[in-house]
């Protein structure tokens, strides 16, 4: 692949997140030179982004529905990074081309039913070819997936025993992108929301296979069921609520655990992962209850077509998102508590400044793509690993170290 003209192509570069990936690459590729280009469906918009950022990069144009034009882009690069979503609408031709041309792929989707279709269609071929197709490299699901992986490996390597459970606790301040809402609406309108309830939607076997039925019977499904009510959590001594991204993140973490299980590097027997929103005192109980009720109301209201069309003009539209100030003042923390099989606890922490859906997402995604190019030899599984992977199985410690060097706090302590 080294004879290809580009190392990384940024597709969807004219979108709200896409523009920020161009800014990130413009700032961060001086110290570590990579050959990169920007791409999307509209040349004029891409020219505008290039001028606004002030970079001298090539522009490649292809509509996501034009397979031969997409092929021409994908064949020229070693890694394709895309932010064009909803991914179920604009991602299919890209992944198809990446698998055929053996081009590694990263995106920021949170559309797990679409990821399921990728697993069914492409996992076998991409595994055989060593092509890393890695969806969910944004705020969903890097902190959950990478954080869990680091806590589990710490328990195994430092304490010398398997891990029983990991719990993730999120706190955050940030904004909402029009593109994220559009992806949520598409998921709902395409009738795929029922699949979100399957706790093992992304596991390596087809949902509801014999293995799945067995695990349902032995109570594994019950232990992995999404929380729906606020509760007091004795591990962190405060109130928690269901986290709205947990139906995405937990499925990715379970896929990582299941893949490592297949590769004889299991997290632990009957390993489970759950995650929550965490609330600090005072009035932690009230905050947890209000947020749970408010989120249920918001989700319910937006599912009513008439109410949604009334609210639509007041919601962020595709192409728009939070102000610079909101993005700069945002932050997130993801605290992790791992429990070894002897009951001892390990604490993990991933924390950064900046809006999680934009600043952190861009850092996660761009560093994921750079990991594939600049540290390919150090990636988990070596050069041969491929498939529809996760951040933990496709990038692992390499991504964690790059994120630390990019200023993110990532720690694990016994
Ligand atoms: N994982 C996370 O934490 C996270 C965070 C933020 C966003 N996201 C996801 O990222 C995606 C993008 O978000 P965003 O806020 O950047 O949205 P956006 O501003 O609406 O950008 C959408 C992009 O898709 C492109 N596009 C639309 N139709 C296309 C087509 N037919 N062919 C090729 N490209 C097409 C748009 O191109 P034009 O500019 O030419 O219209 C634009 O570049 C969404 O799916 C969102 O859910 C995930």
Distance 213 CA to ligand 1 centre (A): 37
| Cα separation, 145 vs 143, whole angstroms | 6
Q: Is 318 in the pocket of ligand 1 (CB under 6 A)?
A: yes
Instruction: Give the chain's domain count.
Output: 2
pLDDT tens for each residue of 78-107: 999 999 999 999 999 999 999 999 999 999
pLDDT tens for each residue of 236-254: 999 999 999 999 999 999 9
Residues 106 and 173 placed together within one structural domain of the fold: no
- Rounded mean pLDDT, 329-353: 98
Contacts of 308 by beta carbon, 8 Å cutoff, 6+ apart:
185, 301, 302
Residues 55 and 178 placed together within one structural domain of the fold: no
- Rounded mean pLDDT, 332-343: 98
Question: Does a structural domain hold residue 400?
Answer: no
Q: Mutation test of ligand 1: which of 22, 70, 85 has the most ligand atoms closer than 8 Å to its C-beta?
A: 85
Residues 85 and 112 placed together within one structural domain of the fold: yes
Look at residue 215 and tell me whether its pLDDT is greater than 70. Answer: no
- Rounded mean pLDDT, 313-324: 95
pLDDT band at 216 (very low <50, low <70, confident <90, very high): low
Look at residue 20 and tell me whether its pLDDT is greater than 80. Answer: yes
Look at residue 366 in the predicted model and tell me its pLDDT.
Answer: 98
| Cα separation, 198 vs 159, whole angstroms | 33
pLDDT tens for each residue of 162-181: 999 999 999 999 999 999 99
Mean pLDDT (the chain, rounded): 95
Look at residue 383 in the predicted model and tell me its pLDDT.
Answer: 87
- Rounded mean pLDDT, 22-26: 97
pLDDT tens for each residue of 25-56: 999 988 888 999 999 999 999 999 999 999 99
**339, 355, 371 - which closes a domain:** 355
Question: Does a structural domain hold residue 42?
Answer: yes
**355, 385, 407 - which closes a domain:** 355
Look at residue 135 in the predicted model and tell me its pLDDT.
Answer: 98
Distance 114 CA to ligand 1 centre (A): 15
Look at residue 212 in the predicted model and tell me its pLDDT.
Answer: 63
Q: Is 169 in the pocket of ligand 1 (CB under 6 A)?
A: no
Residues 121 and 53 placed together within one structural domain of the fold: yes
Question: Does a structural domain hold residue 401?
Answer: no
Look at residue 407 and tell me whether its pLDDT is greater than 90. Answer: yes
Residues 95 and 203 placed together within one structural domain of the fold: no
Look at residue 207 and tell me whether its pLDDT is greater than 70. Answer: no
Q: What domain range is 178 assigned to?
A: 142-355
- Which three-class secondary structure state does DSSP give residue 287? helix
**308, 336, 355 - which closes a domain:** 355
Residues 112 and 150 placed together within one structural domain of the fold: no
Q: Is 139 in the pocket of ligand 1 (CB under 6 A)?
A: yes
Question: Does a structural domain hold residue 195?
Answer: yes
Q: Can you read off the two tokens belonging to residue 197?
A: 């309830």
Percentage of the chain modeled with pLDDT above 90: 86
In which residue are the tokens 């991933």 written?
A: 350
Q: Mutation test of ligand 1: which of 68, 83, 140 has the most ligand atoms closer than 8 Å to its C-beta?
A: 83
pLDDT band at 1 (very low <50, low <70, confident <90, very high): low
Question: Does a structural domain hold residue 372?
Answer: yes
Distance 51 CA to ligand 1 centre (A): 20
* Phi-psi map region of 4: left, alpha, beta (phi>0 left; psi -120 to 50 alpha): beta
Question: Does a structural domain hold residue 407?
Answer: no
Lowest-confidence segment of 87-91, 185-189, 257-261 by average pLDDT: 185-189
Q: pTM above 0.75?
A: yes
| Cα separation, 52 vs 322, whole angstroms | 18
- Own/partner contacts of 325-329, CB < 8 Å, gap of 24 or more, are 326/174, 326/175, 326/355, 327/174, 327/175, 327/354, 327/355, 327/358, 327/359, 328/353, 328/354, 328/355, 328/359, 329/173
pLDDT band at 208 (very low <50, low <70, confident <90, very high): low
CATH number at residue 370: 3.40.50.720
Question: Does a structural domain hold residue 256?
Answer: yes
Look at residue 214 in the predicted model and tell me its pLDDT.
Answer: 66
Look at residue 232 and tell me whether its pLDDT is greater than 70. Answer: yes
Look at residue 310 and tell me whether its pLDDT is greater than 70. Answer: yes
Distance 83 CA to ligand 1 centre (A): 5
Residues 116 and 246 placed together within one structural domain of the fold: no
Residues 200 and 294 placed together within one structural domain of the fold: yes
Distance 11 CA to ligand 1 centre (A): 10
- Rounded mean pLDDT, 308-335: 94
Residues 183 and 276 placed together within one structural domain of the fold: yes
Question: Does a structural domain hold residue 104?
Answer: yes
Distance 173 CA to ligand 1 centre (A): 21
| Cα separation, 91 vs 77, whole angstroms | 17
């Amino acid at each position: 692949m080294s004879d290809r003209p580009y190392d990384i192509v940024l597709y969807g570069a004219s979108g709200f997140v896409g523009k920020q990936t161009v800014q990130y690459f413009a700032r961060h590729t001086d110290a570590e030179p990579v050959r990169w280009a920007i791409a999307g469906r509209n040349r004029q918009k891409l020219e505008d982004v290039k001028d606004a950022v002030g970079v001298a990069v090539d522009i490649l144009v292809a509509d996501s529905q034009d397979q031969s034009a997409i092929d021409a882009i994908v064949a020229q690069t070693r890694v394709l990074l895309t932010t064009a979503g909803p991914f179920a609408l604009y991602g299919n031709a890209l992944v198809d081309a990446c698998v055929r041309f053996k081009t590694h792929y990263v995106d920021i989707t949170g559309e797990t039913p679409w990821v399921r279709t990728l697993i069914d269609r492409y996992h076998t071929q991409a595994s055989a070819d060593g092509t890393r197709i890695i969806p969910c490299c944004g705020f969903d699901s890097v902190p959950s997936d990478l954080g869990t992986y680091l806590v589990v490996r710490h328990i195994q390597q430092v304490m010398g025993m398997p891990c029983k459970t990991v719990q993730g606790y999120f706190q955050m301040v940030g904004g909402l992108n029009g593109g994220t809402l559009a992806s949520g609406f598409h998921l709902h309108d395409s009738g795929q929301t029922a699949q979100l309830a399957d706790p093992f939607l992304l596991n390596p076997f087809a949902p509801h296979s014999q293995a799945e039925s067995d695990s349902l019977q032995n109570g594994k499904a019950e232990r992995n069921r999404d929380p729906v009510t606020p509760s007091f959590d004795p591990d962190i001594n405060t109130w928690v609520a269901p986290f709205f991204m947990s139906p995405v993140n937990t499925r990715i973490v379970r896929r990582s655990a299941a893949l490592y299980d297949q590769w004889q590097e299991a997290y632990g027997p009957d390993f489970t992962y759950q995650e929550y929103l965490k609330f600090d005192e005072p009035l932690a109980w009230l905050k947890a209850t209000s947020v749970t009720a408010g989120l249920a109301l918001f989700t319910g209201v937006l599912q009513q077509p008439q109410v949604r069309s009334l609210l639509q003009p007041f919601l962020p539209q595709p192409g728009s998102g939070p102000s610079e100030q909101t993005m700069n003042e945002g932050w997130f923390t993801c605290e992790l508590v791992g429990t070894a099989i002897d009951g001892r606890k390990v604490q993990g922490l991933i924390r950064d400044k900046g809006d999680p859906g934009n600043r952190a997402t861009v850092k996660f995604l761009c560093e994921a793509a750079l990991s594939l190019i600049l540290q390919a030899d150090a990636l988990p599984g070596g050069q041969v690993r491929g498939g529809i992977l996760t951040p933990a199985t496709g990038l692992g410690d390499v991504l964690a170290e790059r994120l630390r060097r990019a200023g993110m706090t990532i720690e694990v302590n016994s």
